[in-house]
Amino acid sequence: MSEPLDDELVLDGNAAAGALSEIYGDEMTTVLAECASCGQVDPIGGLLAYVHAPGIVLRCTACATVMIRIVHTPRGTLVDVKGKRIPPPPPRT
Amino acid sequence: MPERFVTRGFVGRRESAGAQANRIPPGQHLVKDFPVLSAGPTPRTDLAKWTFRIEGLVKEPVSWGWNDFQKLPAQDFVKDISCVTKWTKLDTRWRGVSVDILLEQVELDRRAAFVTAFSDGGYTTNIPLPELVNGQAFVAYGYDGRPLAPEHGGPARLVVPHLYFWKSAKWVRGLRVMEKDVSGFWESLGYNNHGDPWKEERYTGD
Ligand SMILES: [Zn+2]
C-alpha cells in the first residue's frame, strides 16, 4: 500500500461529486475528511477515487484506507462513511 | 457431401451464436476483452512474503508460501464468468488449485458453514462453504497461459465462476471458515449476499 497513486484506475474525489451531492443535497468536495486509520486530512475532492467497480470507493491519500463507499441500487443509493469529520449522510426518505 | 464434411472439420468446436447466447445469463452482454474493475490500489505483493492461509473453524490453521502453493496439484479450468456490471466473458482459461485440494489439508469443524475470502488491501467477500467445494471454485495463479496479471488479481485470486465475479476475490490471501455468514465488502453495502447470475441476484432484495 506504499504507492496508492501508482495506479491507472484511480481518480480524485471530484469524480464522486455528483453522487455525493445527490446523497447530501449539498456540495461535498470541499468538506475536510480525516482518515480514521492514519489521521491524514484532505478535502473529499482530494481523496483517491475508484469508480470502476460495483460501487464508488474513496480512500485516504496517505494510506489508502477506505473512507467513503457509495453504491447505487434499484432501490436507492447507499453510502457508508468511515472517515472522521465527514458528516453522516442524511436519513433516507 | 464432401464440402460439408470439410466445413464441419474446419469450424471445429466453434459454437453457433444461439448456443453462445444460451450461456449468457439474463441482463448480461458478451465481451471479448477482459475489463478491469478495482475498488482500490493494485497491491504488489512480494512473492517471498506471500502466503495463503485457511483459518477459522479448522482444527489447525494451514498456511502455504508461494513455492509450496505451486507444488500443490494444479488444474486447467475453462469457465464462463459474469460481472455484476453486466459483462460476461466465455471460455476464460485459468490455471490453479481447486479449493477441494486446499480443504483436504485441514480438518473442518462440524459447525463450518460459511467462508470469508480475504485479500491484500482489505477486500473481503462471503460465500457459503458448500458453494466452494466439489470442483466449484479454485485459487488461480495462471490466466491464458501466463502468470495472472496484478490488475486481474495476481499473483493469485479466488475464482468462483458460478457466482458474480465480485465473489472471485482478487489478490486473495486466504479463507476464513465460519459458522455464521459475515457480509463482505460489497455485500455489506447493497450487493446481494449470494450473487447467482442466472437468478440475477445483483442487489440486496433481488
Ligand atoms: Zn490514512
Residue with the larger pLDDT of the pair A88 and B109: B109
Is the confidence at residue A33, as pLDDT, over 50? Answer: yes
Q: What is the DSSP string of chain A?
A: ---TTS-TTEEEGGGGHHHHHHHHSS--TTSEEE-TTT--EEEGGGSEEE-SSSSEEEE-TTT--EEEEEEEETTEEEEEE-SBTSPPPPPP-
User: What ipTM does this complex have?
Assistant: 0.89
Taking the CA atoms of residue A41, residue A73, residue B160 and residue B199 in that order, the dihedral angle to the nearest 10 degrees is 170
d(CA B124, CA B117) in angstroms, rounded, equals 6
Residue at B34 is within a domain: no
Task: Name the residue of chain A whose CA is nearest to B121's CA.
Answer: A1
Show Cβ contacts of residue B32 under 8 Å, excluding neighbours closer than 6 positions: B89
DSSP 8-state symbol, B165: G
Three cell numbers at A27?
A: 456540495
Q: How far is A17 from chain B (nearest CA, A)?
A: 17
pLDDT band at A52 (very low <50, low <70, confident <90, very high): confident
Domain map (residue ranges) of chain A: 8-85
Q: Does B41 sit within 8 Å of A52, measured CB to CB?
A: no
- Region A54-72 average pLDDT: 96
Domain assignment present for residue B28? The answer is: no
Estimate to the nearest angstrom the gap between the alpha carbon of B173 and the chain centroid.
13
Low-confidence ranges of chain B (pLDDT < 70): 1-14
Q: Which of A83, A93, A87, A85 is nearest to A48 (CA)?
A: A83
Task: Tell me whether residues A73 and B39 touch, CB distance under 8 A.
Answer: no
Give me the CATH number covering residue B79: 3.90.420.10
Give the B-side interface with A, CB within 8 Å: 35-43, 84-85, 121-122, 151, 166, 186, 188-191, 203-205
- pTM, full prediction: 0.91
How near does any CA of chain B get to the CA of A37, in Å?
A: 13
Amino acid at residue number B143: Y
Domain containing residue B115: 45-199
- Measured between beta carbons, the chain A residues lying within 8 angstroms of B38 are 7, 9, 50, 52-53
Q: Which amino acid is at B32?
A: K
Residue-level pLDDT at A17: 94
Q: What is the pLDDT of residue B21?
A: 87
CA pair distance B87, A76, nearest whole angstrom: 22
Q: What pLDDT score was predicted for residue A92?
A: 67
pLDDT at A89 over 90: no
Q: Is the alpha carbon torsion for B67, B72, B73, B77 positive or negative?
A: negative
Which of A1, A55, A75 is opposite residue B41, by nearest beta carbon? A1
- Confidence at residue B36, expressed as pLDDT on a 0 to 100 scale: 92
pLDDT of residue B8: 44
Establish if B168 belongs to a structural domain: yes
Q: Give the model's pLDDT for residue A5.
A: 41
Asked whether the predicted pLDDT for residue A4 surpasses 50, the reply is: no
Looking at the structure of chain B, the number of domains it has is 1
pLDDT at residue A25 is higher than 70: yes
Report pLDDT for B89: 97
- Cβ atoms of B143 and B93 within 8 Å: the answer is yes
Report yes or no on B86 lying in a domain: yes
